[in-house]
Amino acid sequence: MRKGILSILILLLSVVLIACGSEESTSKWDEVQESGELVVGTSGTLYPASFYPEDSEELTGYDVEVMKEIANRLDLELSFEEYGVDGLLSSIESGRVDMVINDMEITESREESFDFSEPYKYSYSTMIVREDDLSGIETLEDIEGKRHGGGATTVFAQIAEHYGAEIVSYGNVANDVYLRDVENGNTDLVINDYYLQSLALKALPDIEVTLHPDLKFHPTESAIVMGNGEDELKQKIDETLQEMREDGTLTKISKEFFGGQDASEKPEEDIEEIEGLEL
């Protein structure tokens, strides 16, 4: 009798262990393949990376078209979920999305909690200031005491705080809101990506702001963000990006959205590194 009970217990334990092993072996890539769909977080308000053209309901942009091409080459359906910049990373942690693409910079602190693909974009930071007086800013040290407009959790806000600026945070708003606040004095500057800011200014020429002519700093690499430890998913994304780089697709998409410039290659300009900035 005891042997019979012991045999049953051993059998039940084996079933439990096998089930647990099966759960552990299921990766995000397995889940994506099973569903046949990639769910990707983006803002939809970041021109020209992720935005809606005027009078259009179709999301597009450099980041969006890169992700569409990746999904197509992996034979997956693609859907986008839109969040404010400050909510994108938490959407990965909560499982609402599989990954995020939104000109997201690779930083050491982010790498503690997330995995990043290989970079699909290289750039650097600059700042938008008022046209008439450059918002009283000649050097990065002049940012102290100024009002910086932007998402509170962005790298650009961290740079502004590093130099002593006050952060004025927004929800998921379009570029014109940021720029008009600089123009009318509600804020003094917006630090952001060079390519994004130069294209935003070109699209909104009536707003009297400008890129600072002398300040180019903090070289950046943007990549797709995934949950920590998703090695197989990262490998698939990296292999696809490499194919797109080698066959010229990344360059082609970049030139379409960045005024003929190739943001998929590292810039040749002399870019100032910021000492003591921990990101």
Question: What's the CATH code of the domain at 181?
Answer: 3.40.190.10
**Signed CA dihedral, 195, 199, 204, 208: sign only:** positive
- 63, 50 contact by CB (below 8 A): yes
Whether residue 163 sits in one domain with residue 243: no
Which residues, 6+ apart, have CB-to-CB distance to 217 below 8 Å?
124, 125, 126, 140, 159, 271, 272, 273, 274
Contact of 156 with 150, CB cutoff 8 Å:
yes
Query: What are the backbone dihedrals phi and psi of residue 102, each rounded to the nearest 5 degrees, phi first?
Result: -165, 55
Give pLDDT, residue 196. Answer: 86
Alpha carbons 18 and 279: distance in angstroms, whole number: 42
Task: Give start and end residues of each alpha helix (H) in 80-230.
Answer: 88-93, 108-111, 155-162, 175-184, 194-203
How many domains does the structure of the chain reveal?
2
278 assigned to some structural domain: no
Does residue 66 lie within any of the structural domains?
Answer: yes
- Does residue 86 lie in a domain region? yes
Q: Indicate whether 7 belongs to any domain.
A: no
Q: Which residues pair with 81 in a beta bridge?
A: 41
Contact 152, 160 (CB under 8 A): no
Q: Is residue 170 part of a domain?
A: yes
Is the domain of 55 the same as that of 182?
A: no
Residues 203 and 90 in one domain: no
Are residues 234 and 96 part of one domain?
yes
Structural domain contains residue 36: yes
Q: How many CA atoms lie within 13 A of 161 on its CB side?
A: 15
Which of residues 219, 239, 274 is at a domain's end?
219
- Domain shared by 154 and 189, yes or no: yes
Residues 130 and 116 placed together within one structural domain of the fold: no
Q: Which of 219, 245, 269 is the last residue of a domain?
A: 219
Q: Residues 156, 39: one domain?
A: no
Per-residue pLDDT at 21: 46
Can you give the pLDDT of all 279 residues of the chain as single tens digits?
554 554 544 444 444 444 444 445 689 999 999 999 999 999 999 888 999 998 999 999 999 999 999 999 999 999 999 999 889 999 999 999 999 999 999 999 999 999 999 999 999 999 999 999 999 999 999 999 999 998 887 889 999 999 999 999 987 788 899 999 999 999 999 999 999 899 889 989 999 999 999 999 999 999 999 999 999 999 999 999 999 999 999 999 999 999 999 999 998 888 999 988 888
pTM of the full predicted structure?
Answer: 0.78
Which residue segment(s) compose the domain that 143 sits in?
Answer: 123-219
Instruction: Please indicate, yes or no, whether residues 177 and 227 belong to a single structural domain of this protein.
Output: no
Considering the domain architecture, whether residues 175 and 191 belong to the same structural domain is answered as yes
Give the pLDDT of residue 194: 94
Residue 262 falls inside a structural domain: no
Q: What is the pLDDT of residue 152?
A: 80
Residue 135 falls within a domain, yes or no? yes
Residue that terminates a domain, selected from 198, 219, 240 = 219
Task: Please check whether residues 115 and 32 belong to one and the same domain.
Answer: yes
Say whether both 228 and 114 belong to one domain.
yes
Residues 140 and 209 both lie in one domain: yes
